[in-house]
Structure 1
Amino acid sequence: MGPGAGGNAARDAGIRAAAGNLIALLDDDDVWHDGRLETQLNAIRSAGLHDHDAWIASCSVQVSRSGQFVDVWPHDVYDEVRPLAEYLFARTAARGGTGFIQASTLLFPRWLALDVPFDAGLRFHQDVTWLLETVRQHSRLRILQIKAPLVVYRVGAASVSSAIRADASTEWALEYVSRHSRRALGDFLLTQPVYYARAGGNLPAALRAVRLGIRRGRPSASAVAYAFFTVGRIVVDRSFGHMARA
């Protein structure tokens, strides 16, 4: 492993080298609040769970853009009633952050990540892929998400998510999200790849994601509204760009 090997390669190497029983992740552009680990550990112990059990602890995040706090995600924490894929991908509102679990919030037993390693071949959607695969392999897995925002999650031009290509996100969804419900697939395709397409000004990629989401999924009204609004913004951005160059 060396520079450019990717986040999952670094996580896997750190997990294998760790001497303790628990692993807590932190991406290099995020920040933990004081007391993050203590609060999560107290929640785990209160739930009667131990290091040898299958569990993952998470929390909410303060979203920071350009140094300013703009929101707290998720708006509704995971309650273990819905399947994880439905919580993460099925939209209940047009705005973002309705279902959200991020890498820098994760705390879990080391043995769990040795049993289900992070896929070093993935360069994006890494944490959510691991979560879905861990749930698939461990039917008794507990996921406890604390409502308190204990992590600062930085988004913007320098973040890894900003470099994701819309078409790559679409292909990921067709492989991983299609294993779940048509609602989850449709909502994901009409939101995430479309968001990345707008960041890259890629109208064809946005339209492809929308077309596949409607044809192969069953998107909610919230996802449809988000997609058409965002596609419209891409068209407007491209039009102004052409006018500026004329």
Structure 2
Amino acid sequence: MQPLVSAVIPTKNRPSVVTRAVKSVLQQTFWRLEVVVVVDGPDPATAKALQQIDDPRLRVLVLPNSIGGAAARNAGVAMAEGEWIAFLDDDDEWLPQKIQLQIDAANRSQAKFPIIACSVIAHTPHGEFIHPRRFPEVKEPLSEYILVRNSPGFGEGLIQTSGIFTSRELLRNVPFRDDLRKHQDWDWLLRVANLEGVEVQFVTEPLAIWYHSKTQKSVSNTHDWQYSLNWIKENRSLVTRRAYASFIMVEVGAQASAQGKWQEFLPLLWEAIRYGSPKPIDFLLCLGFWLVPRNTRRWLKGLLGEKQNLEQPLSTI
């Protein structure tokens, strides 16, 4: 039977976690799906581990050379047979009803190209949290939802890659940029956000587990403030002035301060003011990242009640 949904999982040199990810897809309550695992370059250990999974819905593509995570996702989309695509990072996993609830939401949508996101359970060294902590307001620009912080805690506005569910047609028309080392998901969302027929919608129930570890080295959590600054400058036309200012003052500023680049404080502030429209909270958060030690910030976030009760009921929209 032709699959209706294709789960695309790029992976490299992580056989134990990718098998966990694959099994979480195969255990979905929705049956008409396939799993497309793209192994990013020669990787005998991962290939062998995947061979132990006996399910005809699993398809594995081993690339002859490493091309990077974004290009590997694009290769998976090109190989996919399903009408819908759902991404899963190799170190994350899905809860059993994820695809069923997202395809129900997509079928209810009036948009030609709905992007169905969901809440995730962020599994961190400091506990488990439900993200995002809020959902987009009516007519809120997507750039402000994903790039602006209005509070100290992480995960206020979030569309995590392992929660993205959308049409194969949209992804083939607008693939991920394969020249980016980081911010690949933000970049794609910003480029498709204003296209005709595209609408971002949420299933508010947590449907994935995001293993978010700051101690695990990866491109996404490596401090590279100059790369992030160049990326937002390149995409200034795709974001609002508020989003531009907040990203530089908070995201870029946090990375620069972590590297002790005090000489960059004023130039970054000037860039945000000159081309953006910062609000008072942006200045407060910016100063907080530069002046308040990280351990103190974590204590304050706990005091302000960032932790959420994972047992609370969450409705689905």
TM range (shorter): 0.7 to 0.9
1:73 maps to what in 2? 131
Structure 2 residue identity aligned to 1:143: V
| Of 138-147 and 5-14, the range deviating more from structure 2 | 138-147
Distance 1:164 1:11, change over 3 A: farther
Aligned with residue 140 of structure 1, among 172, 176, 197: 197
Distance 1:79 1:229, change over 3 A: closer
> Does residue 174 of structure 2 align to residue 112 of structure 1?
no
Show the 5 A alignment for 1:68-107. Answer: 68-69=127-128, 71-79=129-137, 81-107=139-165
How many equivalent residue pairs?
A: 232
Structure 2 residue identity aligned to 1:172: W
Q: State the TM-score, normalizing by the size of structure 1.
A: 0.84
Structural RMSD (CA): 2.5
> Does residue 270 of structure 2 align to residue 211 of structure 1?
yes
Give the secondary structure class of the aligned counterpart of 2:155. coil
Show the 5 A alignment for 1:156-171. Answer: 156-158=214-216, 159-171=218-230
Give, in whole Å, the separation in 1 of the partners of 2:205 and 2:294.
38
Give, in whole Å, the separation in 2 of the partners of 1:236 and 1:82.
32
Structure 1 residue identity aligned to 2:103: L
> Does residue 70 of structure 2 align to residue 11 of structure 1?
no
> Does residue 210 of structure 2 align to residue 153 of structure 1?
yes
Structure 1: 5+ residue runs without aligned partners? 238-246
1:242 maps to what in 2? none
Identity %: 30
Per-residue Cα deviation, 1:107-137 (whole angstroms, up to 9, x for no partner): 011011000011110111101111111123x
* Structure 1 or 2: more helix by fraction: 1
Q: State the TM-score, normalizing by the size of structure 2.
A: 0.66
Q: Is the 8 A contact 2:223 2:256 kept in 1?
A: no
Q: Is the 8 A contact 1:203 1:234 kept in 2?
A: no
Give, in whole Å, the separation in 2 of the partners of 1:207 and 1:222.
17
Q: Is the 8 A contact 1:91 1:220 kept in 2?
A: no
Structure 2 residue identity aligned to 1:112: L
Give, in whole Å, the separation in 1 of the partners of 2:249 and 2:118.
26
> Does residue 252 of structure 2 align to residue 193 of structure 1?
yes
Structure 2 residue identity aligned to 1:147: T
2:7 maps to what in 1? none
Between the two structures, name the one with larger relative contact order (CA 8 Å, sep ≥ 6).
Answer: 1
Larger Rg: 2
Give, in whole Å, the separation in 1 of the partners of 2:231 and 2:174.
19
Q: What displacement does 1:67 show?
A: 7.1
